Amino acid sequence: MNDIVPPPATLRVNLDSNALAANWRHLDSMSAPGRAGAAVKADCYGLGVDRCVPVLRKAGARDFFVAHWSEVADVARHVPAASISVLHGPISAAEAEYARAIGARPIINSLHQARVWAAAGGGPCDVMVDSGINRLGLSMEDLSDPLVAELEINTLMSHLASADEQSPDNHRQLVQFRRARSMVKADRYSLANSAGIAIGQDYVFDLTRPGLALYGGVPRPELTAQIRQVAYPQAALLLRRDLKPGDKVGYNGTYTADHVMPSGIVSIGYADGFLRSRGGEALAHDGRVLPLIGKVSMDMVVVDLTNAPDLQEGDWLDIPFDLPGAAQRCGLSQYELLTGIGHRLR
């Protein structure tokens, strides 16, 4: 059975590789005199490591960040393992041994992880310091521990908690990170994510770690004009149905037709990341707006085809994915919209 080729899918995400490369180059220029890396965790925020990492590498990215050790091998198919940093660090001897075997750099987040890394034989690593987000990272007090001085640190980094806002916490974290830099010798220093790059030159240091903005997200208004949409999801029309007055649509009959109208059942649902919170949106075809009617189902939505009565089964409809606008309309974050893309679209 494995040699039988399945028919084409009825879901897809078209990737604008030129936009992805342009987004990285713009963020890299904003990171000067340092340079931009690329956060490629969560399968490049849902858009696919195999499609995105080669584009980012060709654009000029040389530093790549994942969260889990299970993500390293997929990225390492496209870039040297030594260019990959793993945010969660080595919590066990098995993870430390894997890092040394494959050549990826662990990010040390605690004295425990420093001990695990040293016990495995050590080598180049990165270090995260907590400057105020209280997630991963050594405390400021931990930086004085002799274990830290013994580490072979490539990059000392921290992470901003409120870079997408005009928050005084940003400056407080900057002050803390400058203090950490004075305490820890490293080859490079890194603080800014996508939003942090846009705050200003004080935050870029030697290396920035953009993620969301690479893939079309706009975390701060300063980036609105420069960041281009990268992902364009589409779903096929599965079936046409003419509704009569009084016909109810979908689960719980939340929509009732009050006139004769053409409708279409479309191959996308909440199992594909198109959650019910997006039920107030509309799909489109060649610029024609097709409002959703009824509830979003697991594998389907229903649209009003009044504006496009010529559409037939198999025609492709556009799913709205301008991330700032879609997030504002449905209440999900831009991160959730991206990383929530279902495997059937990929």
3-state SS class at 206? coil
Contact (CB, 8 A) for 85 and 105: yes
- pLDDT value, residue 346: 74
Peptide bond into 146 cis (omega under 30): no
Amino acid letter, 282: A
pLDDT 10s digits, 185-234: 999 999 999 999 999 999 999 999 999 999 999 999 999 999 999 999 99
pTM of the model: 0.95
Question: Is the domain defined by 17-215 classed in CATH 3.90.700.10?
Answer: no
Compute mean pLDDT per 10 residues along the chain, 346 residues long, and list them. 87 97 98 97 97 98 98 98 98 98 98 98 97 96 96 98 95 97 97 97 97 98 96 98 97 96 98 94 97 97 98 97 95 96 88
The candidate with the shortest Cα–Cα distance to 191, out of 133, 151, 148, 146, is 133
| pLDDT on residue 2 | 76
**CA-CA-CA-CA torsion sign (94, 97, 99, 105):** positive
Q: Catalytic residue numbers? A: 41, 251
Contact 113, 89 (CB under 8 A): yes
Cα separation, 152 vs 317, whole angstroms: 52
Task: Annotate 13-34 with three-state secondary structure.
Answer: EEECHHHHHHHHHHHHHHCCCC
Give the pLDDT of residue 1. 66
Q: What is the pLDDT of residue 83?
A: 98
Where do the structural domains in the chain lie, given as residue ranges? 17-215, 231-339
CATH fold of 231-339: Lyase, Ornithine Decarboxylase; Chain A, domain 1 (2.40.37)
Crossing angle between the packed helical segments 49-59 and 17-30, to the nearest 10 degrees: 50
What SS3 state is found at 287? Answer: coil
